[in-house]
Amino acid sequence: MWKNKNVWILLVGELVAGLGLWMGIIGNLEFMQKYVPSDFLKSLILFTGLLAGVLVGPLAGRLIDSYSKKKILIYSGIGRMLSVSFMFFALHFESITFMVLFMISIQLSAAFYFPALQAVIPLIVKDEELVQMNGVHMNVATLSRVAGTALAGVMLVVLDIKFLYIGSMVAYAAILITTFMLHFEEDQETLNNKGKSGSFKDVIPVIKGVPIVISALVLTIIPMLFIGGFNLMVINISEIQDSISVKGLLYTVEGVCFMIGAFFVKRITHLYPPVTLMFAFSFVISIAHLSLYFSNYFSMSLISFGVFGIGVGCFFPIAATIFQTKIPKEYHGRFFSFRNMIDRVLFQVVLLGTGLFLDTIGLQFMVVIFGALSLSAVLFYGWKHIRATESVPEGAQITAGK
């Protein structure tokens, strides 16, 4: 895998783009903290962009399956660069409206970019290398997040916030250049029949026919209950502890632990079934969420985010590999767009719920509710999975094992 030029291009591009992405996110948080007093209003601003991404999802899926995935990556990369210009207007006019336009435009670009990227990975590496590739790719993304948030924190101390968005623009330009350097074989039949792929709804029967994919989609809800309110919780913990520096530390600890988890999971995937591992790490994520009840203590907040990082670092590479190998490649664009839409809808619901709960009942009671829901879901679906496994005749289990 390491001799594959496309792998290096993809990883280097992800590292540079991640730096820009997280400089922009830290800039967004700083902008909202200055101009948007309500947590619920902050969540509404983020909600607007995510909604735009969901609405364009079906179109994105069909285009990814119908046209060159490389061209989709290039055009969406250009869109991400152009979207940053709205934040310069937002800063100049101190306008929330321009920030909303930025959120909409960048999420529209992301709705095409990330499903196309997930569809490209199985085209540039072998199936047996996918767990390793997914883990390394997520580690690089996390490393760029750690470096990006740390760099953004330093820049905010010595420079104006606009330089965060200048850095973001430069990074997006860099990944656009690396995308042109990618060379991989695409399905010639797809390229010869542009615009003629089936309906977006055709992916639903495919998903129903693969139970392990359904299990993975259900379990994805567990980390999403944490991730959806991640940024708002970081801001809130910073305010509870009256510490600006804790924001960067929380992102750093979670990111480093994510990389440890993604490195560790490759060494245990051959020991246990993927569904079993996903249930185990979903349980770990639930415990991390509940432990945020003690987030008023500096050390406990870092421990909670660290445990969460390890949990999701193990969970997501397993889930991504299942999706890439169990869903036929001709449906990858539509499937990953479908999954992207589910993630965005869940993210929106959790985001709005987090903003509302932080304004009403506070962080501690909110994490008890979300953590209890996560733990209940893990236990309930784990029990159903065990019963379903026990109900399969012994001979069928042996056949399935083969």
The answer, yes or no, to whether residue 108 has pLDDT greater than 50, is yes
Q: Are 321 and 396 in contact (CB under 8 A)?
A: no
Residue 223 falls inside a structural domain: yes
Q: Mind listing the pLDDT tens digit for each residue in 365-379?
A: 889 998 898 888 888
Q: What is the CATH number of the domain that holds 170?
A: 1.20.1250.20
pTM of the predicted structure, to 2 decimals: 0.68
Residue in the structure block whose two tokens are 């969901």? 54
pLDDT at 287: 92
Rounded Cα distance, 75 and 144, in Å: 23
pLDDT band (50, 70, 90) for residue 16: confident
pLDDT band at 307 (very low <50, low <70, confident <90, very high): very high
Average pLDDT over residues 5-24: 80
The DSSP secondary-structure symbol of 346 reads H
User: Would 251 be classed as within a structural domain?
Assistant: yes
The single residue listed with the structure tokens 């660290």 is 306
pLDDT at position 395: 44
pLDDT in tens, 136-191: 777 787 777 777 777 887 887 788 888 888 888 888 888 888 888 888 777 655 55
Which pLDDT band, with edges at 50, 70 and 90, does 80 fall under? confident
**Residue with the two structure tokens 């379990």:** 219
Query: Can you spell out the DSSP letters for 76-144?
Result: HHHHHHHHHHHHHHHHHHT-HHHHHHHHHHHHHHHHHHHHHHHHHHHHHS-GGGHHHHHHHHHHHHHHH
For residue 191, tell me if it sits in a domain: no
DSSP sequence for 179-224: HHT------HHHHHTTT----GGGHHHHHHT-HHHHHHHHHTHHHH
Distance in angstroms (rounded) separating the CA atoms of residues 124 and 3:
11
How many helices and strands (H and E) does the chain possess? Answer: 18, 0
Count: domains in the chain? 1
Q: Which domain holds residue 315?
A: 5-181+202-396
pLDDT of residue 399: 39
Examine residue 132 and state whether it is found in any structural domain, yes or no: yes
For residue 264, is it within any domain?
yes
- Quick check: is 33 in a domain? yes
| CA 4 to chain centroid | 25
For residues 345-350, average pLDDT:
79
User: What is the average pLDDT score of the chain?
Assistant: 80
| Phi, psi angle pair for 127, to nearest 5° | -60, -40
